């Protein structure tokens, strides 16, 4: 195993442990009623909204009719930087403009820039017209 791989694994373990504890301190659960006007963009595939919560906010993304993803806006390259990930104007990917790391939909995997890890993703459960975003990290 290379030194870089060992550093990456150790860093990821620290990140997941730290972010899990921080996420629980930041929000216990977020509930989104999809019938509310502010969530109209989530009625079509590829729609997204920004929410408060997590480490630096959340991107809630509709990847399919009954499938939603919640990404923390903290960049996987440096989640302590004074920037946050946003959806690119094309709405095809997410980007951190500080380090120019880009991330794919719907899995949050890095596609460019220095980031080597995916974005933190939170569990999303759909029940009728209600989404519940928990503090449980799924990646």
Query: How is the chain split into domains, by residue range?
Result: 3-137
Q: pTM for the full model?
A: 0.79
Cα distances (angstroms) measured from residue 6 to each of 10, 69, 77, 95, 119 = 6, 29, 16, 26, 19
pLDDT at 82: 85
Let me know the angle formed at the C-alpha of 70 by 125 and 110, rounded to the nearest 5 degrees.
135
pLDDT at 19: 46
Topology classification of domain 3-137: Rieske Iron-sulfur Protein (2.102.10)
Q: Which residues of 25-58 are buried (b: 16+ CB within 10 A; e: fewer)?
A: ebbeebebeeeeeebeebeeeebbbebebbbbbb
pLDDT at 28: 62
pLDDT at 5: 40
End-to-end CA distance of the chain: 22
pLDDT at 23: 42
Would you give per-residue pLDDT tens digits along the chain (139 residues)?
443 343 444 444 444 444 444 444 455 689 999 999 999 999 999 999 999 998 899 999 999 999 999 999 999 998 788 889 999 999 999 999 999 999 999 999 999 999 999 999 999 999 999 999 998 888 7
pLDDT at 9: 43
Question: Dihedral angle at the C-alpha atoms of 30, 31, 34, 40, nearest 10 degrees?
Answer: -30
């Amino acid at each position: 195993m290379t030194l870089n791989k060992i550093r990456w694994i150790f860093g990821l373990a620290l990140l997941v442990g730290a972010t899990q504890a921080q996420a629980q301190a930041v929000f216990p659960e977020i509930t989104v009623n999809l019938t509310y006007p502010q969530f109209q963009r989530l009625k079509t595939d590829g729609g997204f909204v920004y929410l408060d919560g997590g480490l630096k906010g959340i991107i809630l993304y509709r990847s399919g009719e009954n499938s939603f993803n919640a990404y923390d806006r903290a960049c996987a390259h440096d989640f302590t930087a004074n920037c946050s990930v946003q959806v690119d104007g094309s709405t095809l990917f997410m980007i951190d403009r500080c380090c120019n790391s880009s991330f794919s939909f719907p899995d949050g995997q890095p596609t460019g820039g220095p980031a080597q890890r995916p974005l933190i993703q939170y569990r999303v459960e759909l029940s009728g017209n209600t989404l519940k975003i928990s503090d449980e990290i799924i990646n």
